């Protein structure tokens, strides 16, 4: 990072994304998971749509690529990568949920290998992908013996949610859309919010109608700070910095999530979580070794 502004924004983005999980944990004490995420994206989509309109951006989808990007974002990112994700968190802990986000870049590279011909993995990168999956297994089944429990189900759901986030990002790139990222995000958030409102009752979710002050604050925080502010920061960083550097946020935010979950709720940080996380980081480093070398060379750290 070459400027104070870039370092500040990267740190702020890691903080904002890392605190999604404890904020959601607070919200889950009042709202069922799908409804909580529906409310989050209600708030976010309204603000994002207003932002797009005020900027005078071309907001109407005009191609199949635009529609594919919106649907991929709405279904895979919003519904599966957020709504279904927090069904998993409700069955585990916010610490584990946050750490599982570190898997997203590894899965993204794997999906890119399959769907994007220009991003084929070399043998050592495939080894890195395998190490990343070993890290997941270490976290999912720390004892080495599979026992079907509610916690294991929650962990498996989180794995599926990570896959949804990763696949959505690859499909959005594959779609080659004409829309700007902010417009596509606004559409996907709105579409996903509608789907979540429909799916909640179908999954048997019920809500008493009562809202505590802290749960209301959590919804506002999730909608405005963790979604709108976070994605504006993310896209701003992508315009100024290489995508590899911005991807590093995915390895800073789990640290924030684990720390805040431990401090706020007393949730344990186990050896299997730390070990699995480190294996995923090693796998990612192997898969992105060329980008890492290029960055180190750019900063004069490597030849």
pTM for the full predicted model: 0.87
CB contact at 8 A, 191 and 83: no
Q: Which pLDDT score, from 0 to 100, does residue 44 have?
A: 96
Where are the alpha helices (H) located in the chain, listed in sequence order?
Answer: 4-18, 20-28, 33-55, 64-72, 85-91, 94-100, 104-115, 123-140, 150-175, 181-202, 213-220, 230-240, 243-247, 249-265, 271-287, 289-298
Sequential pLDDT tens for the chain (303 residues): 456 777 788 889 889 999 999 999 999 999 999 999 999 999 999 999 999 999 999 889 999 999 999 999 999 999 999 999 999 999 999 999 999 998 888 888 888 888 877 767 788 888 888 898 898 888 877 766 566 788 889 999 999 999 999 999 889 888 888 998 889 999 999 999 999 999 999 999 999 888 899 999 999 999 999 999 998 888 778 767 766 667 777 788 888 999 999 999 999 998 999 998 999 889 888 887 877 777 777 766 666
Q: Which pLDDT score, from 0 to 100, does residue 1 have?
A: 46
Which residue is listed with tokens 């976070």? 230
Question: b/e map of 174-186 (b: 16 or more CB within 10 Å)?
Answer: bbebebebbbbbb
Q: Which pLDDT score, from 0 to 100, does residue 142 have?
A: 73
Q: Which pLDDT score, from 0 to 100, does residue 67 have?
A: 95
CA angle 21, 285, 24 (to 5 degrees): 5
- Per-domain residue ranges for the chain? 4-298
Dist CA 155 CA 219 (whole Å):
23
Beta carbons within 10 angstroms of residue 188's beta carbon: 26
Q: Which pLDDT score, from 0 to 100, does residue 40 have?
A: 97
Dist CA 119 CA 111 (whole Å):
10
Dist CA 209 CA 224 (whole Å):
22
Dist CA 30 CA 102 (whole Å):
27
Q: Which pLDDT score, from 0 to 100, does residue 83 have?
A: 93
């Amino acid at each position: 990072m070459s400027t104070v502004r870039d370092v500040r924004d990267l740190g702020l983005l890691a903080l904002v994304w890392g605190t999604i999980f404890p904020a959601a944990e607070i919200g889950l004490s009042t709202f069922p998971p799908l409804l909580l995420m529906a409310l989050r994206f209600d708030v976010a989509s309204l603000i994002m749509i207003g932002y797009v309109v005020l900027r005078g951006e071309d907001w109407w989808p005009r191609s199949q690529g635009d529609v594919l990007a919106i649907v991929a974002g709405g279904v895979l990112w919003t519904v599966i990568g957020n709504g279904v994700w927090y069904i998993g968190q409700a069955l585990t802990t916010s610490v584990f949920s946050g750490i599982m986000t570190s898997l997203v870049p590894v899965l993204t590279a794997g999906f890119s290998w399959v769907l994007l011909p220009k991003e084929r993995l070399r043998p050592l990168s495939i080894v890195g992908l395998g190490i990343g999956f070993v890290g997941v297994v270490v976290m999912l089944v720390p004892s080495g013996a599979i026992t079907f429990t509610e916690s294991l189900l929650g962990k498996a759901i989180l794995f599926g949610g990570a896959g949804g986030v990763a696949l959505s990002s690859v499909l959005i790139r594959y779609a080659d859309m004409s829309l700007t990222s902010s417009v596509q995000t606004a559409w996907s958030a709105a579409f996903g919010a509608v789907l979540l409102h429909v799916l909640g009752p179908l999954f048997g979710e019920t809500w008493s109608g009562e809202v505590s002050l802290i749960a209301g604050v959590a919804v506002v925080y999730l909608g405005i700070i963790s979604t709108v502010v976070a994605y504006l920061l993310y896209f701003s960083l992508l315009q100024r910095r290489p995508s590899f550097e911005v991807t590093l946020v995915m390895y800073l935010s789990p640290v924030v999530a684990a720390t805040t979950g431990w401090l706020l709720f007393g949730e344990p940080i186990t050896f299997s979580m730390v070990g699995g996380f480190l294996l995923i980081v090693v796998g990612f480093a192997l898969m992105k070794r060329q980008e890492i070398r290029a960055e180190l060379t750019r900063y004069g750290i490597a030849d």
